[in-house]
Amino acid sequence: MRFPAAAVAAFTLLAVPAAPSLAQDRRLTPERMFAAPDISGPTARGVAFSPDGRLVTYLRAKPDDQTTLALWAVDASGGEPRRLVDAAALDSGEPLSEAETARRERMRISDRGIVQYQWDSQGRQILVPVSGDLYLAQVADGSVRRLTRTPGDEIDAKVSPRGGFVSFVRDQNLYLVPTAGGAERAITTEGRDLVSYATAEFIAQEELDRDTGYWWSPNDARIAYARVDETPVDVVPRFEIGPDGVAVSNQRYPRAGRPNAVVQLFVQAVAGGAPVRVDLGANADIYLARVDWSKDGRALYVQRLSRDQKRLDLLAVDPATGRSRVLLSETSPHWINLNHGFKPLTDGSFLWMSERSGFAHLYHYGADGRLIRRITTGDWPVRSIAGVDEAGRRLFFLASPDDPTQQHLHEVSYAAPAAPRRLTQGEGYWNATMPRAGAAAFVGSYSTPTQPPSTALYAMDGRRLRWIEENRVAPGHPYHPYAATAPNHQFGTIRGPSGATLHYQLITPAGFDPRRRYPAIVYTYGGPHVQTVTRSWNGAVFRSRLYSEAGYVVFLIDNRGSWNRGVAFEAALDRRMGVPEVEDQMAGVAWLRQRPFVDPQRVGVTGWSYGGYMTLLMMTAPDNGLAAGAAGAAPTDWRFYDTGYTERYMGTPQANLAGYDAGSTLSRLDNLTGRILLLHGMADDNVTFDNATRFMSALQQRGVVFDTAVYPGQRHGVRPPALQLHQWRTYLDFFARTLGGEGPPSPATSPVRSAAR
């Protein structure tokens, strides 16, 4: 349930052409929300530096088509941005293969055109996958050369580190093609049916944040690749109910307590010869979590995670023989949170991120696996490593030392004890992209609840060198007509029932009158690895605006179990998901009801995925008093969810029967109050549709009347613009009927008709 994006932004801004009158309307309607141009303005996505650091590339949507991304570039030294590749000229519009569709679903990619790209090592060419085929764009003149033209999709394409080859997966096998021209070559040939090569299995993609199944050595000499055998995995028939019919998919879905796919790792010399199998240990029931090469290509590093996810081993592997040894191990009485904080260095030492102190911090290890020094410390977690400057022996990381609702870029020496130095300033939320080598500048992206993401090139002392996408909300900006009537955002803390400090965000409508009593909507996610309360321009901002326009107060609170507060705060839900989260959320509801401007009888709740689960739990909590709940794509019983996520927090059903029973929504229906709206994609391959049908059946058996909105052909997220528009009009209609706020405005017919064509 990897939902950093989908939980915080349950809709994607896609293109529905707007009626001219909408641009002049000071009320932000659902029609305008999903219209072009993007209400957030021009934002830079997928930012990267050229290998020499002189050029910055990024993806940008067309003003009149938010569904198709093009590749842009700008010189770091100055000048105007220029479009390198127009995806519209390459995108055939043909349907993607099931493998690529599923991969994009796991990666939460819903756009078309150029959704990913990669520089070659010389900075002369950029690999661009579009519509299942591969292209090489020449940076100098913008010309594009097509590499593949096949019926099957080429997925997970990469340029080899020295630029000699392009690699890709097609029809479950790994291929190479020389960048200078020549025939493609199959590295594996036995991938078919239930066996695939060089592809991350379902659990790796969805729950381990590993989207690839193969890794180049830095000298182009070898490739490590995974072999995945899904034969042991249970078949879960899934009916992909679409607008034009029904297809039956016999999906291999590993539910909690059941067998996983068998994953092996091999190393193949590009020059030829037999593949070498890597020794991953005697126990095959493990997770292949991470794979990296040393800087000189002489060692392969593998992170091996135990099935119960309480032990993580870092293995050093001889790629010539496959022999491995354990360099270091991390253990936890709860679970190990995987990260991307392992960074091999040129001298053979490496950087490592660990939560052993109770908070994620950075450590420097020698090549022999012995600790050299701890780099960061404190009662706050490092979020991620942004970059490493080996020449200056510095590393750069993102963290929130002073306020977990914000995020800033910091630098620190890894060679000698030193306090980190913050590089970004102001109140808000920063992300950063660093060049591959050196540290002369970085690209920073900054936002607040009132400022959409602004992206610029910054010197290492924090000085802005040049804008990449300023995105200032000024006349002409899509959001400018609505900025003056934006809702108000208040941040604060309350003390939860356990004594823990809980951060909240309270959003009140423009023209707020504290003497009135408003209906209120609680937006929740509640699960691990997600933080909803941030001082950023995120999905909650847009949602709150639509609800605020309809006269609601909106409330968010991060309960125990949520992200960015350390091990103890998150581990409160260990083996008892659905208990501490609900206690904290209901404490937030009680606090909200005590506000003199909130009508305590007209409080509702909504959420998607884990947030849908929380919505159902809160609606069935004893004495909850909630009037309405809109639950989207909710896992209604953890027995029906996958191994990687569920067993991490709950163990297996066989070992924790009481915990599974207590966390099931189906066991709590006697406490149900208020009206429920259930929403679900009818082709959902993550939280499968039978989660919803079981809950519907249980309500029907009790004679409980409820509302539904199911989406034919949609998976775990509702993607097309017209359907997202319908989704949000459904929310507003439902809460108007149950809480007494305003319903959706009269529909503008032209956007829906345009989207349907």
**Catalytic annotation, residues:** 609, 684, 716
Q: Find out whether 71 and 144 touch, Cβ atoms under 8 Å.
A: no
CB atoms within 10 A of CB 417: 10
Tokens of 25: 């309307």
β-bridge partners, 227: 197, 264
Query: Among the residues of 266-383, which ranges form H helices?
Result: none
Tokens of 343: 């960074």
Question: How far is residue 317's CA from residue 224's CA, in Å, rounded to a whole number?
Answer: 11
- Mention every residue, 6+ apart, whose C-beta is less than 8 A from residue 151: none
Question: How far is residue 634's CA from residue 638's CA, in Å, rounded to a whole number?
Answer: 10
β-bridge partners, 679: 632, 709
Question: How far is residue 328's CA from residue 376's CA, in Å, rounded to a whole number?
Answer: 19
3-state SS assignment for residue 715: coil
Question: How far is residue 711's CA from residue 241's CA, in Å, rounded to a whole number?
Answer: 9
Give 68's DSSP letter.
Answer: E
Q: Between helices 721-739 and 539-549, what is the axis angle to 10°?
A: 50
Question: How far is residue 634's CA from residue 125's CA, in Å, rounded to a whole number?
Answer: 44
- Mention every residue, 6+ apart, whose C-beta is less than 8 A from residue 753: none
Handedness of CA 469, 470, 472, 474 (dihedral sign): negative
534: left (phi over 0), alpha (psi -120 to 50) or beta: beta
Question: How far is residue 433's CA from residue 47's CA, in Å, rounded to a whole number?
Answer: 7
Q: Find out whether 331 and 310 touch, Cβ atoms under 8 Å.
A: yes
Question: How far is residue 197's CA from residue 319's CA, in Å, rounded to a whole number?
Answer: 18
- Structure-token match 């949507």, residue found: 61
Query: Among the residues of 487-579, which ranges form H helices?
Result: 539-549, 567-570
> Phi and psi dihedrals of 347, rounded to 5?
-80, 5
Q: Are strands 165-170 and 155-159 parallel, antiparallel or unpaired?
A: antiparallel
Q: What is the DSSP string of 205-251?
A: HHHS----SEEE-TTSSEEEEEEEE-TTSPEEEEEEEETTEEEEEEE
- Structure-token match 């977990």, residue found: 404
Question: How far is residue 487's CA from residue 549's CA, in Å, rounded to a whole number?
Answer: 8
Q: Find out whether 100 and 139 touch, Cβ atoms under 8 Å.
A: no
Q: Find out whether 730 and 680 touch, Cβ atoms under 8 Å.
A: no
Q: Cα 164 to chain center, whole Å? A: 32
β-bridge partners, 413: 394
Burial class (CB in 10 A: 0-12, 13-18, 19+), 727: buried
Q: Find out whether 725 and 16 touch, Cβ atoms under 8 Å.
A: yes
**Counts of helices then strands in the chain (DSSP H, E):** 14, 44
> Phi and psi dihedrals of 238, rounded to 5?
-125, 125
Q: Which residues of 295-333 are buried (b: 16+ CB within 10 A; e: fewer)?
A: bebebbbbbbbbbebbbbbbbbbbbeebebeebbebebe
Q: Find out whether 368 and 382 touch, Cβ atoms under 8 Å.
A: no
Burial class (CB in 10 A: 0-12, 13-18, 19+), 76: buried
